[in-house]
Amino acid sequence: MRYTDKQIQDRAYLNSINVLSVKIVSSDKGFPLNVYGNIILRDNLDEKCIFLFSRPSRMDSELINSEDQSLILTGPSRGLVLTDYIFIEVDLKMKLDNGKDEQLSIGLLDIDGRVAPRVPTTKVRCCTLESSLSTVEVRYALVKEATEATVEFPVLKGDFKGKITAHTTRIHDRVLLHDSRACGAAISSDGSRVIELLRRVLAVCVDEVLFISAEPEGVDTLVKKFTPSLSGSQSDVFDWGAVKLGVKVTWSVISF
């Protein structure tokens, strides 16, 4: 939301990515696995750490039952810039009952932004990191001429149980924003209730549409559409039965 409320000179749309999933697609130790550690992104906007997966303590490990199960991602916290490279630093450990944990995966991946003009935006791409005990796969989608969408969901009535996901016009893989089994509602600074989100930022091409889906338990999926903007915000309401859930999308240009 860096440029939501102010204009910048010489504005140009930059390329970005959406990370769709991270999976441990093979393991020399088999499954299930109790996984903890960090996955960090870096771009050349400021070269700072942007957490994609953060469970630094073995007491907060995530149970992965098979190679088909994705890690629960909690980032990025802002729109990524793909002008040169985006680096992905993986440092995952495996929690063992005897207390002698092992390094499951460690290493560096990169996404080359220099080839972005030749990459179709309708194709999901992936990169893999092979290490001594496992292979980690990162699936991502290229977003050309991107804007940053930051989402929030105020609880207007009742209690929401279910999932909230998002996708764009060209890429139908859904990004998990909220799962009530993993998190619930929190009290905001003004005393109102808001949905706690696993992820709240996506990159959207200015020529596409952002689809946000609420999937309540026992109710058909509800979908709202949002058209990208240079700045400002848009709001709507999911309304069914005893539950009313607001949705707000705040737009910002991704820029240096």
Last residue of a domain, one of 127, 146, 165: 146
User: How does pLDDT run across 44-88, given as a tens digit for each residue?
Assistant: 888 789 999 999 999 999 999 999 999 999 999 999 999 899 999
pLDDT band at 11 (very low <50, low <70, confident <90, very high): low
Could you tell me which residues come within 8 angstroms of residue 23 by beta carbon, excluding any fewer than 6 positions away? 67, 68, 69, 70, 71, 136, 137, 139
State whether 25 and 142 are in the same domain.
Answer: yes
Q: How many C-beta neighbours within 10 Å does residue 166 have? A: 22
pLDDT higher than threshold 90 for residue 223: yes
State whether 133 and 180 are in the same domain.
Answer: no
* Residue 256 amino acid letter: F
**30 is in which domain, residue-wise?**
14-146
Strands 210-216 and 162-168, by their bridges, are: antiparallel
pLDDT band at 241 (very low <50, low <70, confident <90, very high): confident
Question: From CA 237, how far away is CA 217, in angstroms rounded?
Answer: 17
State whether 139 and 156 are in the same domain.
Answer: no
> Across the chain, what does the average pLDDT equal?
92
CATH number at residue 241: 2.60.40
State whether 56 and 120 are in the same domain.
Answer: yes
pLDDT of residue 119: 82
154: DSSP letter: B
Is residue 30 within a helix (H) or strand (E), and if so which, with residue range?
none
State whether 134 and 154 are in the same domain.
Answer: no
State whether 204 and 237 are in the same domain.
Answer: yes
Q: Which of 196, 193, 192, 194 is CA-nearest to residue 182?
A: 196
Mean pLDDT, range 98-110, rounded to an integer: 93
